[in-house]
Amino acid sequence: MICLIEWCNSNQGFLSAVLSILTVSVSLIVMWCSNRNAATILKKQQKQEKEIELRQEDMQRRQIKVDTYPYRLECWKTLYRIKDVVEILKLGFEEKFSMKKIIKIYMIFTKGFLKQETVCLILLFFH
């Protein structure tokens, strides 16, 4: 034990250099590990942000569908009514009814969905 103490006392510069190199190397290893961990965390964060962005876009699309549903439903109802009107008018022309009779039939079946002038225009188109 006394030999070790004497050796350390006589080689102080050498031991200081070894300890300094050891300290620097450990510090570099720790910095490298922390940078690698930071890069991994950054990649995960970017991936999560991308997923969140895709989810937000999907939610916006769904919200638009939900918001426009009443309007789309009303459009489909209107188209269906117009289809019924066209069928009624075709039936009227096939049976050779007069214009007044066709308008009356239309008013009965559709409860005045279109104005009478519009019905007349449709009749002129089909006639």
Q: 70-121: per-residue pLDDT in tens?
A: 877 877 777 777 777 777 667 666 666 666 666 666 666 566 555 655 666 6
Q: Domains of the chain: which residue ranges?
A: 13-126
3-state SS string over the chain? CHHHHHHHHHCHHHHHHHHHHHHHHHHHHHHHHHHHHHHHHHHHHHHHHHHHHHHHHHHHHHHHHHHHHHHHHHHHHHHHHHHHHHHHHHHHHHCCCCHHHHHHHHHHHHCCCCCHHHHHHHHHHHC
pTM as predicted: 0.42
39-67 residue pLDDT tens: 999 999 999 999 999 999 888 888 877 77
In degrees rounded to 5, what are phi and psi of residue 111? 55, 40
